[in-house]
Structure 1
Amino acid sequence: MSTRKTLGLLAAAAVLALPAAGGAQSPGNSADAPIAWGGDDLEITPAGFSLIGRAEITQGGNRLRAGRVNLTTDDRGGVTRVEAIGEVFFVTPTQTARGDRATYDLNTDEVVVTGEVILAQGENVMRGGRLVYNVRTETGRMAGAPTAGGDRVQGVFYPEGND
């Protein structure tokens, strides 16, 4: 599994969570698939709106779930920032990402996942404390999480074709 492919799922999270973000396709579904959302409560504020309690956004086979998802909007109602808080999960048909918090800033094209970050594709797993991924440039960086040996990024990758 390439880091680029694994990190690409975070870009898909932006497309999934932000229908106004553009016409890019997220893995496993078409960009024009309906986007469904739900939560225990919906809060509308001058800055945007929030899904609170079992917050979930789905599109095709992709799902973003967290305890709370805050969406910040501009004067025209376009989404400028998404923040998912509290055991954040993003699941596609082939990949899973988990963290304590995730933010996507449409102005900088950056997705930041923090906390106990875990990226998985099949048996391949990468762990760290902070992931920054740029949707536009498709580049990313994982910072280490605290371990007994100091802050470290860790992973296990299984080569393809070893049958």
Structure 2
Amino acid sequence: MTTKTFLAAMFCVALGSLALTGSVGAQVAQEGGPVMVGGDSWQADENALTQTWDGRVEVIQANSRLRADHVVISHAPGGEGENKGWGEVVKIEATGNVYYVTPENTVKGNTAVYTKANDTMVISGDVVLKQGKNVMTGTRLVAEVGAGTTTMDAAPGSTNNGRVRAVLYPDEKQANSAAGN
């Protein structure tokens, strides 16, 4: 692989990493900024237009982070100039010990797949969603990012016995004002 091809592929990694949450501008962090990607190994397949990161993969942008054992970023054909052949990111698949962490939330699962065509993130396996003290568990979380909708379900026979479960703590300020404090 030539240096020019390597730099073009690395640029595509940065662009691919931006698609993880699908927010405006399709970024890992809503506030944007540079994207750092690291792992134990990296491989680009110019024929399949994929990049594969293996071993302690971490994608960081601002205060948001995606960690997984294995990440595959798939591109559409196209691109201009140095990126010729590497078009926009169409899918990102993270597997093994997946964690997506923002200042507000932490989501854990076995796999996560972001598909640009329908702007949807699906996290599956033993899914745990945490926000502050609040915790929700299930086996599949589907976030339609642009629509702002999220659903969680649980498979029969799962550790949740086919049920989505949550522990929710009321806002302490609201609870105190409701109690007359």
Normalising by the smaller structure, the TM-score range is 0.7 to 0.9
The superposition leaves residues 37-96 of structure 1 with CA deviations (integer Å, 9 ceiling, x where unpaired) of: 000000111231011101110000110000011100011221100000001001112210
- Greater relative CO (CA pairs within 8 A, separation 6+): 1
Equivalent position amino acid for 1:74 in 2: A
Larger Rg: 2
Equivalent position amino acid for 2:76 in 1: D
Q: Does the aligned pair in 1 maintain the 2:19–2:116 contact within 8 Å?
A: no
Q: Which one has a larger percent strand, Structure 1 or Structure 2?
A: 1
Distance 1:149 1:134 in 2: 23
Residue 11 of structure 1: aligned partner: none
User: In the alignment, which of 131, 141, 144 is matched to residue 154 of structure 2?
Assistant: 144
Residue 61 of structure 1: aligned partner: 63
TM-score norm. by structure 1 comes to 0.81
Q: Does the aligned pair in 1 maintain the 2:58–2:67 contact within 8 Å?
A: yes
Question: Could you say if the C-alpha distance between residues 147 and 75 of structure 1 is closer, same or farther in structure 2, counting changes exceeding 3 Å?
Answer: closer
3-state SS, counterpart of residue 141 of structure 2: strand
Give the gaps of 5 or more residues in structure 2: 1-14, 79-85, 177-181
Q: Does the aligned pair in 1 maintain the 2:39–2:55 contact within 8 Å?
A: yes
Equivalent position amino acid for 1:142 in 2: M
Residue 8 of structure 1: aligned partner: none
3-state SS, counterpart of residue 117 of structure 2: coil
RMSD over aligned CA atoms reads 2.3
Residue 31 of structure 2: aligned partner: 30
Q: Which one has a larger percent helix, Structure 1 or Structure 2?
A: 2
Question: Could you say if the C-alpha distance between residues 19 and 129 of structure 1 is closer, same or farther in structure 2, counting changes exceeding 3 Å?
Answer: closer
Task: State the number of aligned residues.
Answer: 147
Q: Does 1:71 align with 2:73?
A: yes
Distance 2:28 2:18 in 1: 11
Equivalent position amino acid for 2:170 in 1: P
Q: Among all aligned residue pairs of Structure 1 and Structure 2, give the percentage whose two residues are the same amino acid.
A: 35
Distance 1:49 1:81 in 2: 11
User: In the alignment, which of 168, 171, 180 is matched to residue 157 of structure 1?
Assistant: 168
